[in-house]
Amino acid sequence: MISVSPLDRSQEAAIRALVDGKAKPLGALGRIESLAVRLALIEGRPAPRCERALLLVFAGDHGLNEAGVSAYPSSVTAAMVETLLAGRASANAFAGAVGAEVRVVDAGVAADLAPHPALIDAKVRKGTRNAELVAALTEAEVELALRHGAALARKAVEEEGFHVLAVGEMGIGNSASAALVLHRLAPAPLDDCIGPGAGHDAEGMARKRQVLARAAARSPASEPREVLAQFGGLEIAMMAGAILGAGACRRPVLVDGFISTTAALAAIRLQPAVADYCIFAHRSAETGHATALTAAGAEPLLDLSMRLGEGTGALLVLPLVRAAAGLLTGVADLDDVLAGRL
């Protein structure tokens, strides 16, 4: 079991007083002020560090794609992983703009990937089974994925010295898997959880709804590990493990869009305290993301009508996180300004 401790809020009033005492009108920076307090509580120090940031993009394939739940074949997953490793994906461009490192985690891509310095081989199996017909994963595979994810987060923090982790995903068919997971963990009506994913016409959406309805009818699973086994993806389970690992190491984790938020919801259902460590980046245009955010008790920082994945939204909030930390570490106290002690 990955254990996450709740935030120690004994210093919250003192840190809030530090923020209130900065050279600015009281409350003038709105939610950035609350974010600054939260970052300090997460790290347990009044001067939180957010300089070094790592995006982990978890990649995996889905047996559900055999039933046509995506407009694209599963081979696109491996192709996009190669694009990420070549530094030519949207996530790479965004990471360059905000000063973050990117690594791709092969959680369950249905192909053999060539070694690469930015590729982490954590493959549990080559894709999931077809959840329309059978459980997507065994319970042992879910546990292995969770442990791998937690270990990656711990290594990034404790051995490599990253201050902030961000999570994203790449996996054709994973919006279908996430819809089923959200349906059970929110819980919410299945139709409210199903969106176009990477793109569907009306016929494709009708097919996707039919396939997922049959998959949902196959199992009444509602406990988080069982839900991940019946309907989850390896990238979703491993991402949930990484979120738990970040919380266990007392580091903030930036959560991207619909699939990432569903993974965070699974982590929260496993360890409710981890919600304190999750910074939800944006409200995706993907159907179901608003439901996932509500279920996670989250209010995202941005709403840009994005629905790409890859961690792109998580990267865009990194400057806001650094700015919030800078409020505590770089802004003068109002008393010093008034007394001319600059």
Q: List residues with catalytic annotation.
A: 310
Beta bridge mates, 104:
57, 119
Report helix, strand or coil for 1: coil
Give residue for tokens 């900065």. Answer: 22
Give residue for tokens 């270990």. Answer: 151
Alpha-carbon gap, residue 8 to 77, rounded angstroms: 41
Report helix, strand or coil for 5: coil
Alpha-carbon gap, residue 126 to 224, rounded angstroms: 22
Beta bridge mates, 255:
167, 280
Alpha-carbon gap, residue 84 to 91, rounded angstroms: 7
Alpha-carbon gap, residue 316 to 273, rounded angstroms: 25
Beta bridge mates, 302:
282
Yes or no: say if 60 and 174 are a contact pair by the CB < 8 Å rule: yes
Question: Cα–Cα–Cα angle for 96, 240, 32, nearest 5°?
Answer: 55
Give residue for tokens 């944006």. Answer: 282
Alpha-carbon gap, residue 281 to 259, rounded angstroms: 13
- Asked if residue 187 has a cis previous peptide bond (ω within 30° of 0), the answer is yes
